[in-house]
Amino acid sequence: MSLKELPKLELHLHLEGAAPPSFIRGLAQEKSVDLSGIFREDGSYAFRDFVHFLSVYEAATSVLKTPDDYARLTRAVLEESAAHGVVYCETFVSPDFCGGGDVGAWREYLHAMQEAAAEAEARDGITLRGIVTCIRHFGPDKAKDAARCAAETAGDWIVGFGMGGDESKGRQGDFSYSFDMAREAGLHLTTHAGEWGGAKSVREALDDLKVERIGHGVQAINDHALCDRLAEDGIVLEVCPGSNVVLGVYPKWDKHPIQALRERGVKVTVSTDDPPFFHTTMTREYEQLARTFGWGPSDFHEISQVALDAAFCDADTRAKIAEKLKDHPQ
């Protein structure tokens, strides 16, 4: 079986960040918004560095203005993911962009995304779940609005709460009120840490927010005691190697620590993060892992099992996805 067809789980995908550039250009045209500054001549997204990436992301997102826009986005993203063998996906969604943190408006966006996801599941056999995400550089007060939206809509579709954004702004612990609220509502927790903020930020995420997964977390490799802690506590890293290489966390694939982390016993999974921004797909991530580290069927099988165990979905969904992995022996 080719790497493209191999059934895959993806636990770290930002919904707007997965928008094909042509989709965003089309919406901009419909709404007469000039977004020419965020695209290169070849049509791809243009950004210089991490901070510029965040502002281009927000500019692209600015043309998504209604629940129906989000339904269309969800359809476009899931069609692309399913074409790369993804059978289960968790996506970051932000009430900041979907109704400005208002719970009533958020419910309407959520309903539109869920309906689109149900259609995609029936058509392409891909299951989607949502992780409500606050945005670190928007600050702790906006995060409380996001957490309230998350708590009010927690259930079998909104399964987690997380945080992304600029790791240089504030500390993980500044957001503990929001993470506590989400935990009390029964949500699973993850946060971006150890992408830019060093091993220290991963420790803060564990100590102050008590998360069970870490977005990226790759800089933990510089602290062997922390790796031991991650391994012992079964904390799972949502590793996005292609994203790290394009944003310059690591200069090239063979300097990426994903294999070294595995060798230290840390549980890792593989995701694309914001695939068109980073010129990647799940197939490309797998191809690069095979080329760079010699990963073969047993490695990909192990990665899928780790992701299945770490997925935030309920037991019925997990069992259904497990069957899909069994249907395709690797």
Binding site for ligand MCF (CB under 6 A): 14-15, 17, 54, 57-58, 92-94, 133, 135, 164-165, 192, 195, 273-274
Which of ligand MCF, Zn ion, none is residue 93 near (CB under 5 to 8 Å by kind)?
ligand MCF
The answer to whether residues 202 and 182 touch, using CB atoms and an 8 Å cutoff, is no
What span, in angstroms and rounded, lies between the C-alpha atoms of 162 and 215? Answer: 9
195 is catalytic: yes
- Ordered alpha helix ranges (H), 125-221: 140-153, 176-184, 198-204
Of 204 and 238, the one with the shorter C-beta distance to Zn ion is 238
- Provide Rg for the chain, Cα atoms: 18
The alpha carbon dihedral of 324, 123, 113, 43 has a sign of positive
Smallest separation, CB 109 to ligand MCF (Å): 12
Smallest separation, CB 73 to ligand MCF (Å): 11
DSSP H or E stretch at residue 72 = helix 67-83
Smallest separation, CB 266 to ligand MCF (Å): 18
Among candidate residues 2, 14, 7, the one with its CA nearest the CA of residue 275: 14
What span, in angstroms and rounded, lies between the C-alpha atoms of 124 and 134? Answer: 30
Of 277 and 300, the one with the shorter C-beta distance to ligand MCF is 277
Smallest separation, CB 240 to Zn ion (Å): 6
Smallest separation, CB 176 to ligand MCF (Å): 19
Of 274 and 285, the one with the shorter C-beta distance to ligand MCF is 274
For the residues of 178-237, what is the DSSP string, one character each?
A: HHHHHHHTT-EEEEEESSSSHHHHHHHIIIII--SEEEE-GGGGG-HHHHHHHHHHTPEE
In three-state secondary structure terms, 87 is strand
Of 50 and 293, the one with the shorter C-beta distance to ligand MCF is 50
Which of ligand MCF, Zn ion, none is residue 195 near (CB under 5 to 8 Å by kind)?
ligand MCF
In three-state secondary structure terms, 92 is strand
DSSP 56: H
Smallest separation, CB 164 to Zn ion (Å): 5
Q: Which of 16, 90, 167, 195 is catalytic?
A: 195
Of 204 and 273, the one with the shorter C-beta distance to Zn ion is 273
Among candidate residues 68, 8, 11, the one with its CA nearest the CA of residue 313: 11
Of 7 and 242, the one with the shorter C-beta distance to ligand MCF is 242
Smallest separation, CB 93 to ligand MCF (Å): 5
What span, in angstroms and rounded, lies between the C-alpha atoms of 9 and 307? Answer: 6
Identity (one letter) of the amino acid at 29? Q
Of 84 and 195, the one with the shorter C-beta distance to ligand MCF is 195
Q: Tally the C-alpha atoms within 13 A of residue 103's C-alpha that lie toward its C-beta.
A: 10
Identity (one letter) of the amino acid at 94? S
What span, in angstroms and rounded, lies between the C-alpha atoms of 204 and 8? Answer: 30
Following CA atoms 218, 219, 221, 225 in sequence, which dihedral angle do they give, to the nearest 10 degrees?
A: -120
Which of Zn ion, ligand MCF, none is residue 165 near (CB under 5 to 8 Å by kind)?
ligand MCF
Provide the binding-site residues for Zn ion, judged by CB under 5 A: 273
Catalytic residue numbers, as ranges: 195
